[in-house]
Amino acid sequence: MADVIVLATADWDHPLWTNKQHTALSLAALGHRVLYVESLGLRPPRKRAADLPRILKRLRRVLRLPRLVKDGVWVWSPLVLPGASHALAQRLNRFLVCRGLDLARRWLRFRSPLLWTYNPLTLEVLSLSSFAGSIYHCVDRIQAQPEMPADRIERAEQRLCQAVDVVFTTAPELQASLASLNPHTHFFGNVADFDHFSRAWRNPGPCPEPLRRLPSQRLLFIGAIDAYKLDLPALTQLAQRRSDWTFVLVGPVGEADPSTDVKALQACPNVHLPGPRPYDELPEWLAHCDVALLPLQRNSYTQNMFPMKFFEYLGAGRPVVATAIPSLQSFAEAAQLVEPSVEAFETAIGQCLNGHGPSLETRLSLAQRHTYVSRSEAMLAVLAQLGLINPPWSGGSLSRAVHKR
């Protein structure tokens, strides 16, 4: 079994779990030991209240040893200057991360770990030669997010792709843009924790209190409510047109885009923003809603994304209405994929509410084939074929298909 260091771009206990946390857990479930390194900070902290608790929490943790959070998974919080762009600050960060990680490795007895990084700026803080192998897992186009140092990230990502042993991508457009940089670039779309979200139909809990008071024909979105991704104007128009539908948007507002303005949405009496909810409660929210929504814009970010909530929605058994972005085109048999317009969304939602569209069996069958453990097994098979890990490499079978382009 391998020791793996996951260099993440999100803190472990962030309310919106992403590929980073789930991959760490699935690798541990397959018998590997994982050190999860929390975000180094791709951008400078914002001068607003939302970033202050995160900074204070990090300062309380930086002098601690890695903490065990799950069987086989430890979390370490490095001391760094977030968003460092000057040479002196970058050298300081490199020293802090290298020395801190070396101590953490020694304490955990990680002698020849693999580096599994999500951070395009990895080469600024680490030397790949100190690892038994290196993987860059590109899950979105970070440089297209607001307030990111786009040019710096773009250049660093290209250098990283050329330097690592393997590149994994989660969206077709990412695969197309990065494949020329590394001959071992493989496409694995996003997946979901099927066992967790299938609770929505297998053993649904009571309706969450904020939802219980709302009328039926509930349309649900779960995730970060950010203007650079969601089509908020179209969603507002739809809510104004259909006062008989109840729109529920669960998640933080302006998580990555401080320019996000939801005043027009909040002015609609049939729109409700209850804020973020713990990951463990999400199946209950889905169980007591009628349709799950993915009202995305079409832009450089969404064209390169694979929304994780797509398979979470399907695993919960909900009918899904989503903007037809490239990563979802292959799964049209399980969801209503539409143009990003008010009229298209209204028609598709109406069809779902009337019982038309893909069947429950189709939705569940597709979701059940796209899980974190099965995807991690397939990715580990790639690493085994390249000699980066030695059999036995997981609790699964090497006969599983390897998806690559």
- When pLDDT is averaged across residues 336-353 and rounded to a whole number, the result is 97
Q: Is the pLDDT of residue 4 over 50?
A: yes
Q: How many other CB atoms are there within 10 angstroms of residue 215's CB atom?
A: 9
Q: Answer with the residue of higher pLDDT: 50 or 30.
A: 30
At residue 328 the predicted structure's pLDDT band, cuts being 50, 70 and 90, is very high
Q: What percent of the chain has pLDDT over 70?
A: 90
* Residue with tokens 């809990």, as numbered in its chain: 205
Check residue 390 and give its pLDDT: 82
**Euclidean distance between CA atoms 336 and 323, whole angstroms:** 8
At residue 404 the predicted structure's pLDDT band, cuts being 50, 70 and 90, is very low
Check residue 87 and give its pLDDT: 80
Q: Answer with the residue of higher pLDDT: 316 or 390.
A: 316
At residue 397 the predicted structure's pLDDT band, cuts being 50, 70 and 90, is very low
- When pLDDT is averaged across residues 251-261 and rounded to a whole number, the result is 92
Q: Answer with the residue of higher pLDDT: 399 or 77.
A: 77
Q: Which residues contact 237 (CB under 8 A, 6 or more apart)?
A: 342
Q: What percent of the chain has pLDDT over 90?
A: 80
Check residue 400 and give its pLDDT: 36
Check residue 402 and give its pLDDT: 37
**Euclidean distance between CA atoms 3 and 272, whole angstroms:** 44
- When pLDDT is averaged across residues 276-294 and rounded to a whole number, the result is 96
Q: Give pLDDT tens digits for 80-106.
A: 777 667 788 778 888 989 999 999 999
Q: Is the pLDDT of residue 218 over 50?
A: yes
- When pLDDT is averaged across residues 371-375 and rounded to a whole number, the result is 94
Q: Is the pLDDT of residue 239 over 60?
A: yes
Tokens of 384: 């085994």
Domains belonging to the chain, first-starting first, are: 3-191+371-385 (3.40.50.2000), 194-367 (3.40.50.2000)
pTM: 0.89
Q: Which residues contact 146 (CB under 8 A, 6 or more apart)?
A: 228, 256, 257, 258, 259
Q: Is the pLDDT of residue 42 over 90?
A: no
SS3 letters for the chain?
Answer: CCEEEEECCCCCCCCCCCHHHHHHHHHHHCCCEEEEECCCCCCCCCCCCCHHHHHHHHHHHCCCCCEEEECCEEEECCCCCCCCCCHHHHHHHHHHHHHHHHHHHHHHCCCCCEEEECCCCHHHCCCHHHCCEEEEEECCCHHHCCCCCHHHHHHHHHHHHHHCCEEEECCHHHHHHHHHHCCCEEECCCCECHHHHCHHHHCCCCCCHHHHCCCCCEEEEECCECCCCECHHHHHHHHHHCCCCEEEEECCECCCCCCCCCHHHHCCCCEECCCCCCHHHHHHHHHCCCEEEECECCCCCHHHCCCCHHHHHHHCCCCEEEECCHHHHHHHHHCEEECCCHHHHHHHHHHHHCCCCCCHHHHHHHHHCCEHHHHHHHHHHHHHHCCCCCCCCCCCCCCCCCCCC
Q: Give pLDDT tens digits for 101-124.
A: 999 999 999 989 999 999 999 999
Q: Answer with the residue of higher pLDDT: 256 or 35.
A: 35
At residue 393 the predicted structure's pLDDT band, cuts being 50, 70 and 90, is low
Q: Rounded mean pLDDT of the chain?
A: 91
Q: Is the pLDDT of residue 396 over 80?
A: no
Q: Give pLDDT tens digits for 140-194.
A: 999 999 988 899 999 999 999 999 999 999 999 999 999 999 999 999 999 999 9
Check residue 57 and give its pLDDT: 60
Check residue 128 and give its pLDDT: 97
Q: Answer with the residue of higher pLDDT: 390 or 139.
A: 139
